[in-house]
């Protein structure tokens, strides 16, 4: 979860990870798509790819 002392980039990444978690809970991992995560986070799909590189990269950070 983002705090007021986080950088804008960290807040963005936290928002995307929160969206990933929400979509995974709602539909399961196999149904998660980068575009859906982006929509939930309120960013473009390209932004998600720019920040995490791939679904696997996003998942790696989400579990740590």
Residue pLDDT, tens place only, 3-52: 567 899 999 999 999 999 999 999 999 999 999 999 999 999 999 999 99
Among candidates 47, 46, 48, 15, which has minimal Cα distance to 56?
Answer: 48
Using only C-alpha atoms, the chain has a radius of gyration, in whole angstroms, of 11
**pTM for the full model?**
0.85
Alpha helices in 1-64 (DSSP H): 8-27, 34-41, 45-52, 55-62
What topology does CATH give the domain 8-62? Arc Repressor Mutant, subunit A (1.10.10)
User: Mean pLDDT over residues 55-62, rounded?
Assistant: 86
Q: What is the pLDDT at residue 4? A: 60
Q: What is the pLDDT at residue 15? A: 96
């Amino acid at each position: 979860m983002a705090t007021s002392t986080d950088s804008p980039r960290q807040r963005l990444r936290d928002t995307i990870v929160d969206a990933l978690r929400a979509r995974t809970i709602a539909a399961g991992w196999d149904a998660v798509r980068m575009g859906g995560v982006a929509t939930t986070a309120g960013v473009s799909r390209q932004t998600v790819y720019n920040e995490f590189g791939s679904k696997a990269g996003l998942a790696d950070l989400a579990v740590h």
